[in-house]
Amino acid sequence: RLVKTMLDEESRTIPAIRAQARPIARAIGWIVSALKRGGRLFYIGAGTSGRIGVLDASESPPTFGCDPEMVQGIMAGGWRALYQSLESAEDDPEYGRQAVRDRGIGKKDILVGIAASGSTPFVLGALEEAHRLGARTVFLTFNPASSFILHPSSFIKIAIATGPEALTGSTRLKAGTATKLVLNMFSTIAMIRLGKVRSNLMVALDASC
């Protein structure tokens, strides 16, 4: 019964994502544009959101043969937070701003901020700083009530209504699933448009013996 309950809840993610297909497609266009002009794609988040961003970034070079600098993940709390929870790291907006400055994010780049709650200070600070420095920004949240917004000329908000979690407040469930699906689309479709895929074949993957 619990398996069915969880599967029923997870099945809600696809329709919720589909409802945001237009801003997702627009964000992909921005990512392609940034990468074509020599810019970089950054994901930034805390907790589950950050870990999934780092995962997508780390899988891009072996899958698509791209330079590791092209797609990067930034995690609140740094590498240690990938395997050990450091919840306090997400509460400092200045820490997010500094993370953006440390990576030298600028006009050629695009930053995707991931915050399931829509209010993570670390992520919002990073988005504000990247925006100030001239980078395009994308805000991925699973709280449609989030009021965070920047100037629309260089900002896209993707608010996916995945709804309450089966385990209240645990954003590693539906929100985590939806994050993985959206980032899969961001990186995969972008690399298709950059010519790193032919038909359904990974023609630029990093082959090793």
Q: Which residues have a catalytic role annotated?
A: 59, 90
Distance CA 100, CA 156 (A): 18
Match 């969880």 to its residue by tokens. 6
